[in-house]
Structure 1
Amino acid sequence: MNRLIASVGGVGYLRPAPGTWGSLAALVLAYLLLKIGGVTLFVLAFVAVVALAFWSIGSLVARLGEPGPHDPAWVVIDEVAGQWIPLMPVAFGAASNGVAIERLWPGWVAAFLLFRLFDVWKPSVIGWADRRGGASGVILDDLLAGVFAAVGVMILAGLYHGLLMR
């Protein structure tokens, strides 16, 4: 069960670039959650995914041993949690303005590209978190990459709506 959760139903076994596949799966899941239950369901699902990530990865680490400085490629639940963070400003922006989430597609693209950039590059505290090892290291680097990407999404949205749309 831990492997099924950690690999997001087997998505983590897709090649090449399982982390990218995990991020793409996160976009699809986010879209479905937002369409079905709006921002409230999306936020509740985010909390549940983070909790499941800590539980499943923690159990795997306890059973399989320390994953070392890099988490196993097939573990992508952390990508789902991290990818959802930069989608939060997009989801809240759409909801607060009464706009269908599809209309903010540039925000979805920016969230995906920025998250993948920070998740692969691992600058600053993201790299520090990745080197921690254990379940917290596996998960925290993706959550921090998500925060960095969310800031980027908000900056890009501000530039677009504040400067370019005048």
Structure 2
Amino acid sequence: MLRAINTFFFVGLLRPAPGTWGSAAALALGWAIERYLGFIPLVVATLAVTALGFYTVAAELKDRPGDDPSEIVIDEVAGMWLALLFPAAGFWMRDMSMVWPGPVAAFLLFRLFDIWKPWLVGRADRRHDPAGVMLDDLWAGIFAGLCTLVLAGLYHAVLM
């Protein structure tokens, strides 16, 4: 069961770039949760997958210190859903569901920060422990979400 959860029901076994596959699956499911169930269920799902990820990643890596296997993508799911919360909150405040390009921008920016690993993302990644596996993607999600809001603000201020 740990393997199924940590690979996000085996999406993490897809090649190449399992992190991108995991993020794309998270985008699709997160967008569907927000669209059909609403913003609050997305918040609950994000908190649940984050807590579950900290537990299951620690359990799977307890005998492998410093390991960060590429097939573990539950961290990408948590980070991607965190990034989606930013545009979702903006649309929720306007009493509407997310429409593109908000979720697409969150996805692209999340992948950028997850791969580039600037500042706090890189610091978390360098912990080389199970918490670091989760934390680097959560920081990437926060940065992606904030950048998505900045880009949306620029778009609406300058082009509208």
Q: Deviation of residue 140 (structure 1)?
A: 0.4
1:59 alignment counterpart = 59
1:80 alignment counterpart = 77
Q: What does 1:151-166 correspond to in 2, within 5 Å?
A: 151-165=146-160
Of Structure 1 and Structure 2, the greater helix share is in: 1
Q: What does 1:86-165 correspond to in 2, within 5 Å?
A: 86-101=83-98, 104-165=99-160
Native 8 Å contact 2:23 2:80 kept in 1:
yes
- Looking at structure 2, the residues matched to 90 and 47 of structure 1 have their Cα atoms a distance apart, in angstroms, of 17
What is the alpha-carbon root mean square deviation over aligned residues? 1.1
Q: Deviation of residue 86 (structure 1)?
A: 1.8
Q: Deviation of residue 82 (structure 1)?
A: 0.5
Q: Deviation of residue 25 (structure 1)?
A: 0.6
Q: Deviation of residue 67 (structure 1)?
A: 3.6
TM-score norm. by structure 1 comes to 0.92
- Deviations for 1:25-76, whole angstroms, at most 9, x for unmatched residues? 11111122113320110000000000110111010111x42143xx100000
- Looking at structure 2, the residues matched to 160 and 152 of structure 1 have their Cα atoms a distance apart, in angstroms, of 12
- Deviations for 1:72-100, whole angstroms, at most 9, x for unmatched residues? 00000000110112211211122221233
- Looking at structure 2, the residues matched to 155 and 39 of structure 1 have their Cα atoms a distance apart, in angstroms, of 20
| Consecutive unaligned residues in structure 1, runs of 5 or more | none
Q: Which of 89-98 and 41-50 deviates more?
A: 89-98
2:40 alignment counterpart = 40
Partner SS, residue 38 of structure 2:
helix
2:11 alignment counterpart = 11
- Looking at structure 2, the residues matched to 7 and 39 of structure 1 have their Cα atoms a distance apart, in angstroms, of 25
- Looking at structure 2, the residues matched to 147 and 89 of structure 1 have their Cα atoms a distance apart, in angstroms, of 8
TM-score norm. by structure 2 comes to 0.96
Aligned length: 160
- Looking at structure 1, the residues matched to 121 and 97 of structure 2 have their Cα atoms a distance apart, in angstroms, of 32
- Looking at structure 2, the residues matched to 15 and 75 of structure 1 have their Cα atoms a distance apart, in angstroms, of 13
| Consecutive unaligned residues in structure 2, runs of 5 or more | none
- Looking at structure 1, the residues matched to 96 and 39 of structure 2 have their Cα atoms a distance apart, in angstroms, of 12
